[in-house]
Structure 1
Amino acid sequence: MGNPALDTRPLPQAEPIGHHLNLRVLRYRSDPGHDEPVMLARELIAQGRYEEAVELTTKSLDADPEDVDLLLTHGVAMRGAGRLNTAQLALTRAAKADPDWSEPWRHLAEVLVARGRLDQASAVAERGLEIDPFDDDLRAIFELGELEQRAQAYVDGERDAEDPALLAQALLARGRVDAAYEVTRTALMDALDDEDVMLAHATAARARGELDEAIDVLILATLEAPDYVDIWRLLATCHEEREEPDRAREAAAKALAIAPYDAELRAMHARLDAGGETLITL
């Protein structure tokens, strides 16, 4: 027997992503009993289709306003759609309806963080941790709240128990730039000679877009600690961002002289050198 003839018919095309989900949504709108609303809404959320999920959960809650899964999913959809106030209300209802379930507490804490209510978020996270002490997201929010409280206490005058540089670095690592700035600004008013505080303050100032202040503080820091490579590194970066290539090259060269094997500094110095040569050529 010969070989079977090659089938040259085109392969069937896969359905576009989301096509099946679209059909399910259409069916649900015409017949709500055709699908499970929580699962359908969560699939919409997973695809970033928050408004459709909100529409679906709103309609479902009209029929069953006390369903905890629906309340939770509705709150998550509202958060994704940017409606934080309504999300907070829905998630609060979910947490009260099932206070021994940690998930509503976690989502509620995240919404409160997004609304800038960190004290409340930390308290909610603490409640959630009582239920699930191993939830990393809840613990991160709780610890962030504690960190902000320590920062505020330092600014308010309780300074004996804190190292301001370490506190500011911890805040910067969590993206709390303004709090870090206030801590270091307060510390520098007490003593303008701590190079670690000066470096942290310059880092915060740069993150706030205040390059002039960052550079002024870093220049003072180089006088206090002329061999502190990270000060020169950040100074070079700030000068480069302020479009001062000559000063950036000078600071990078100083840093490289202190740490000649630092790959990041070598790359920065080479880039700045190349930029200078290009300008001369032009």
Structure 2
Amino acid sequence: MDLTQTSSAAPFHLDLRVLRFRSDPKRDEPAMLAQELLSQGRLEEAVELTERTLELDPTDADLLLTHGCALARLGQLETAQLAFTRAAKRDPDWVEPWVQLAEVLLTRGKPARAVQVIERGLAVDARDARLLQSQSRATLELRAHAYCEAPDEGEDPAMLATQLLAGERADLAFEVTRTALLSELDDVDLLVAHAKASRAMGDLDEAISALRTASYEAADWTEIWELLAEAHEAAGENERARDAAAKGLLVDPASEALRALHERMETLVTL
């Protein structure tokens, strides 16, 4: 079978369907056609098609959902939120609009509103894995916001930041650690978490500063030296990266990662 010929046939067939739909919307199912456009990455066409059809039938929940998905993928989150809201109101017993609405609210940084939406969705399907995941994410983000507004002794900021980093919320992790460091300047776990958040945010100077401070407090912690060496390497500071790796090897001579990094930096420095 000629795979190249087969792969090009599908978009050509889709082009024909789009042309036919534009001339006569009754010749195809608009939501399904828009979903196929989405699967091909043709987002603007999907938006155009769904907008046109919604002018004729603004209450079609399936079409509203597809319209919202296309808008969300284009980064038009506010308009996507409106489409998902309308879809959920039109068909409140369908879990999908609640799932997508919760996701776009979280992406827009509105975890409190997302929690309300998630609760509505879970009332429809209490086992939906996507809603349960969004619920965990929203709860975590609310904890982060609460901590930054009023640090709570019952909250471990380093652990909270680590969880945020795992959820790809480096921005919130950075805010949590920055807030906590105002009163816990020598907490090594916090310094390391702050360095990781800073690195994820692209702030190498801040990451290096935090790791240097951590190395004074816990010189026998191998991970600090490895992170410091990697940060120096990323900053193009090969000699400092080599020196940090060397200090780490004094702590853990068996570390393959540190040894490889040290050898790589040694080669670059001596070129």
> CA separation in 1, counterparts of 2:178 and 2:5?
62
Moved more, 122-131 or 161-170: 122-131
More helix by share: 2
Q: Could you tell me which of 56, 73, 77 is aligned with 1:63? A: 56
1:158: Cα distance to partner?
Answer: 4.2
The alignment status of 1:35 with 2:38, answered yes or no, reads no
Partner of 1:113: 106
Over aligned residues, Cα RMSD in angstroms?
2.0
Q: Given the alignment, which residue of 169, 174, 182 partners 2:167?
A: 174
Post-superposition CA distance 1:23-43 (Å, at most 9, x none): 111111112221111111110
CA drift of 1:228 comes to 0.6
Is the CA contact 1:202–1:213 (under 8 Å) kept in the aligned structure 2? Answer: yes
CA contact (8 A) 1:61 1:71 kept: yes
Give me the whole-angstrom Cα distance separating, in 1, the residues matched to 2:54 and 2:146.
43
Q: Give distance in 2, aligned partners of 1:34 and 1:118.
A: 41
Indicate yes or no: 2:220 matched with 1:227: yes
Which of 43, 48, 60 is equivalent to 1:50? 43
Instruction: Single out whichever of 135-144 and 259-268 deviates more from structure 2.
Output: 259-268
Deviation for aligned residue 1:90: 1.2
- Other-structure match for 2:66: 73
Amino acid at match of 1:111: V
1:210 is matched with which residue?
Answer: 203
For the 8 Å contact 1:122–1:144, the answer to whether it is kept is: no
Task: Give the whole-Å Cα distance in 2 for the aligned partners of 1:191 and 1:55.
Answer: 53
Name the SS of the counterpart of 1:60 in structure 2.
helix
- Runs of 5+ unmatched residues, structure 2: none
Q: Distance in 1 between matches of 2:10 and 2:263?
A: 46
With normalisation by structure 1, the TM-score equals 0.88
The answer on whether the counterparts of 1:58 and 1:74 sit within 8 Å (CA) in structure 2 is yes
Structure 2 counterpart of 1:269, from 262, 265, 271: 262
Using structure 2 for the length normalisation, give the TM-score: 0.91
Name the CA distance, whole Å, in 1 between partners of 2:5 and 2:158: 60
* 1:97-120 C-alpha deviation (Å, 9 max, x unpaired): 111111001111222223232322
Give the Cα–Cα distance (whole angstroms) in 1 for the partners of residues 5 and 230 of structure 2: 52
Do the aligned residues in 2 keep the contact of 1:122 with 1:143 (CA within 8 Å)? no
User: How many angstroms does 1:13 deviate by?
Assistant: 5.0
In structure 2, give the amino acid aligned to 1:203. K
8 Å Cα contact 2:229/2:241 also seen in 1: yes
1:35-84 superposed Cα distances (whole Å, 9 cap, x missing partner): 11111111001111111111221222222221111111111122223322
Identity percentage over the alignment? 54
How many residues are aligned here?
A: 268
The offset of 1:220, in angstroms, is: 1.6
Give yes or no for contact 2:211–2:224 (8 Å, CA) kept in 1: yes
Q: For 1:183-198, list aligned pairs within 5 A.
A: 183-198=176-191
Counterpart amino acid of 1:209? G
Residue number among 245, 253, 258 corresponding to 1:260 in the alignment: 253
Whichever of the two has the greater Rg, that structure is 1
Helix, strand or coil for the counterpart of 1:18? helix
Residue 96 (str. 1) matches residue 89 (str. 2): yes
